[in-house]
């Protein structure tokens, strides 16, 4: 596979991926996206950040079902992560706060 093949594959993947975004404010799990029955979600990009003006920032966890993908106060990650069948994409906050979240996800 040559360089142009890799670039083409990345462009195809970016074209097929849907962007999802949300503002999460509650502590605990918030479901962002649930796949159709019998399908999986493939995540190719994650971005999340707490409100920088808040006095206390929550720890952000991003999950596919029960599988923890990333944890931190700021997340910006290009990846290829495949969830289990029927596993939803969730964001978990350690405490209530204002967190912006976005991801590139496709159902397979």
Contact status, residue 8 vs residue 96, Cβ threshold 8 Å: no
Band the pLDDT of 10: cuts 50, 70, 90. Answer: very low
Joined together, the tokens standing for residue 56 give 């206390």
List pLDDT tens digits, range 39-85.
999 999 999 999 888 889 999 999 999 999 999 999 888 989 999 99
Element containing residue 60 per DSSP (H, E): strand 60-64
Q: Please answer whether residues 41 and 9 qualify as being in contact, where contact means their C-beta atoms are separated by less than 8 angstroms.
A: no
**Global pTM value:** 0.81
H helix count then E strand count, the chain: 1, 8
User: What domains sit in the chain, N to C, each tagged with a CATH number?
Assistant: 18-107 (2.60.120.340)
User: Residue 9's CB: how many other CB atoms inside 10 A?
Assistant: 11
């Amino acid at each position: 596979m040559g360089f142009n093949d890799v670039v083409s594959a990345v462009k195809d993947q970016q074209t097929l991926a849907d962007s999802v975004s949300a503002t999460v404010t509650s502590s605990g799990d918030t479901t962002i996206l649930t796949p159709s029955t019998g399908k999986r979600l493939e995540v190719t990009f994650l971005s999340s950040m707490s409100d920088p003006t808040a006095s206390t920032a929550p720890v952000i966890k991003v999950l596919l079902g029960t599988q923890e993908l990333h944890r931190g106060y700021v997340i910006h990650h290009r990846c290829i992560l495949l969830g289990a069948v029927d596993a939803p994409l969730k964001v978990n906050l350690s405490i209530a706060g204002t967190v912006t979240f976005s991801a590139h996800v496709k159902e397979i």
